[in-house]
């Protein structure tokens, strides 16, 4: 019996020929990532009396959640993080103004490569599976231990295969595909499993859409999301990857816990309604739900193709009266590229507000919280009660196309009704 891609990566990390779902292994870690909230992991190192990390070149940190500091507590935490970065001599450190959102900046900088094990103090670390990587989030104690030892103790997840065939339609993105999946299997449909995405439609997606799909694997309860390396992956890593890498793939005889197959050409623009990423409906079926705020960006949909999608809708248009449109490029480089292409000009002329490359209101941090009774449509990844502000606010999730179209209309609408 063959192995799945996830099983092959974990077997390699454990120094063995094969692993089985449910087996407890001790795996070598190739990288550990964190951000300003992860300052707590350094405090755990201090408690453990650990004076150095396993490899100061393999620990990556950025500032993205509470930046620029919106409170005195956040300012104190950032001050502590700067001190820890110096104390532990962390080399790959992307401070405010030099980096961006963790799940965009680390791949952009070529620090994440295929067939490796990456741990992060953030649940959406699974994003890196788009590069054929086993990547998963853990709590600060586990992250501190991984930073100290370069190893992790974990249970091998069973794998499920999710296949999309056919041709992806116009203004349909990876966000629509993953919302379709979560809408069908539920928020616990992949609990502690590896979601392996494949099929001709997946192979036809650009890398940015693949990041989006793997980013939201955790919203189905998955341990990780993953896509095998192909020419799209290697093109992205060309002149970017900091190290040589090995490309692994699932065996033809690999065993999956479950198999799903869908026709991508049948997918329409989708929206996740409050208060769950699984409460999915076609955007065209929603009856003119008025919005107060539209958010385009985040680790899910803040990349350059997302900026281009939004600009395609907003070009020559105006944001509807009474709507706040907030746009968050995910990194400084994406921000610059959007400027070079004239996208920022399009956004400003339409009436949008452009933010620095940070997480912003995605986690209810700052730069756009919702008041009681307000409604937002957002390209972020979660719409739980109170996620973006007041517990009596409501959040809908969508692609950048649908979000931008809704900003113009003033209510949730399919982008195909605007263009």
For 60-81, write each residue's pLDDT tens digit.
999 999 999 999 999 999 999 9
The residue assigned the tokens 């790959």 is: 92
Q: What is the pLDDT of residue 186?
A: 98
* Contacts of the segment 410-413: beta carbons below 8 A, 24+ positions apart: 410/290, 410/291, 410/320, 410/321, 410/322, 410/323, 411/288, 411/289, 411/290, 411/291, 412/271, 412/283, 412/286, 412/288, 412/289, 412/291, 412/377, 413/283, 413/284, 413/286, 413/288
Which sequence spans correspond to the domains of the chain? 5-262, 272-417
For 310-328, write each residue's pLDDT tens digit.
999 999 999 999 999 999 9
| Local structure of residue 2 (DSSP, 8 states) | B
Q: Would you state the structure tokens that stand for residue 230, as one six-digit string?
A: 């192909």
Residue 143 pLDDT > 80, yes or no?
Answer: yes
H helices present in 109-218, as ranges: 140-149, 174-185, 200-203, 207-215
Cα separation, 292 vs 376, whole angstroms: 6
Sign of CA dihedral 178, 180, 184, 187: positive
For 251-262, write each residue's pLDDT tens digit.
999 999 999 999
106: which residues sit within 8 A by CB, 6+ positions away? 33, 60, 62, 92, 112, 128
Residue 88 pLDDT > 80, yes or no?
Answer: yes
**Under 8 Å between Cβ of 272 and 176:** no
264: which residues sit within 8 A by CB, 6+ positions away? 164, 165, 166, 167, 168, 169, 172, 177, 199, 201
For 26-73, write each residue's pLDDT tens digit.
999 999 999 999 999 999 999 999 999 999 999 999 999 999 999 999
Q: What is the pLDDT of residue 138?
A: 97
Q: What is the pLDDT of residue 418?
A: 83
Beta-bridged to residue 419, according to DSSP, are none
Mean pLDDT within 76-99: 96
Question: Is the pLDDT higher at 288 or at 148?
Answer: 148
Cα separation, 150 vs 187, whole angstroms: 31
Could you tell me the pTM of the whole model?
0.97
Sheet strands side by side (includes 394-397): 280-282, 270-272, 394-397, 375-378, 293-297, 324-328, 353-354
**Under 8 Å between Cβ of 5 and 160:** no
Burial state string for 172-198 with b = 16 or more CB within 10 A and e = fewer than 16: bbbbbbbbbbbbebbbebbeebbbbbb
Q: What is the pLDDT of residue 287?
A: 86
CATH class as words, domain 272-417: alpha beta
Residue 102 pLDDT > 80, yes or no?
Answer: yes
pLDDT, averaged across the chain: 97
Q: What is the pLDDT of residue 419?
A: 77
Residue 266 pLDDT > 90, yes or no?
Answer: yes
Domains 5-262 and 272-417 share a fold: yes
Mean pLDDT within 330-336: 98
Q: What is the pLDDT of residue 1?
A: 85
For 185-244, write each residue's pLDDT tens digit.
999 999 999 999 999 999 999 999 999 999 999 999 999 999 999 999 999 999 999 999
Whether domain 5-262 has CATH 3.30.499.10: yes
Q: Would you state the structure tokens that stand for residue 231, as one six-digit string?
A: 């020419």
Cα separation, 419 vs 415, whole angstroms: 6
Query: What are the CA-CA distances from residue 346 to residues 308, 319, 396 (Å)?
Result: 10, 11, 24
The residue assigned the tokens 């900091």 is: 242
């Amino acid at each position: 019996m063959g192995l799945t891609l996830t099983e092959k990566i974990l077997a390699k990390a454990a120094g063995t020929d094969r692993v089985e779902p449910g087996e407890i292994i001790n795996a070598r870690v190739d990288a550990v990532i964190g951000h300003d909230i992860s300052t707590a992991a350094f405090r755990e190192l201090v408690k453990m009396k650990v004076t150095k990390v396993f490899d100061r070149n393999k620990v990556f940190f950025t500032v993205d959640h509470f930046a620029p500091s919106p409170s005195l507590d956040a300012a104190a935490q950032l001050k502590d993080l700067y001190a820890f970065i110096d104390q532990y001599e962390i080399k790959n450190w992307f401070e405010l103004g030099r980096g961006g959102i963790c799940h965009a900046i680390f791949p952009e900088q070529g620090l994440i490569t295929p067939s490796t094990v990456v741990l992060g103090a953030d649940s959406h670390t699974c994003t890196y599976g788009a590069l054929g990587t086993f990547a998963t989030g853990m709590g600060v104690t586990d992250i501190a231990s991984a930073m100290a030892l370069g190893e992790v103790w974990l249970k091998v997840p069973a794998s499920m295969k999710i296949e999309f065939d056919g041709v992806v339609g116009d203004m349909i993105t990876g966000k629509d595909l993953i919302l379709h999946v979560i809408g069908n299997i539920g928020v616990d449909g992949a609990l502690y499993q590896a979601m392996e995405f494949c099929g001709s439609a997946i192979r036809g997606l650009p890398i940015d859409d693949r990041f989006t799909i793997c980013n939201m694997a955790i919203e189905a309860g998955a341990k990780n999301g993953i896509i095998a390396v192909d020419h799209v992956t290697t093109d992205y890593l060309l002149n970017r990857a900091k190290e040589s890498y090995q490309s692994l793939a699932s065996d033809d005889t690999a065993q999956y816990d479950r198999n799903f197959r869908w026709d991508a050409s049948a997918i329409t623009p989708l929206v996740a309604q409050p208060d769950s990423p699984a409460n999915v409906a076609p955007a065209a079926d929603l009856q003119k739900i008025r919005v107060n705020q539209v958010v385009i960006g985040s680790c899910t949909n803040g990349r350059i193709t997302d900026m281009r999608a939004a600009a395609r809708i907003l070009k020559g248009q105006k944001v509807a009266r009474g709507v706040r449109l907030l746009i968050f490029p995910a990194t400084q480089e994406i921000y610059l590229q959007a400027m070079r292409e004239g996208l920022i000009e399009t956004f400003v002329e339409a009436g949008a507000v452009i933010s620095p490359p940070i997480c912003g209101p995605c986690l209810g941090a700052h730069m756009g919280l919702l008041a009681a009774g307000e409604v937002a449509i957002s390209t972020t990844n979660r719409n739980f009660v109170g996620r973006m502000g007041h517990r009596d606010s409501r959040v809908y999730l969508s692609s950048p196309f649908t979000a931008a179209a809704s900003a113009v209309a003033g209510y949730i609408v399919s982008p195909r009704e605007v263009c």
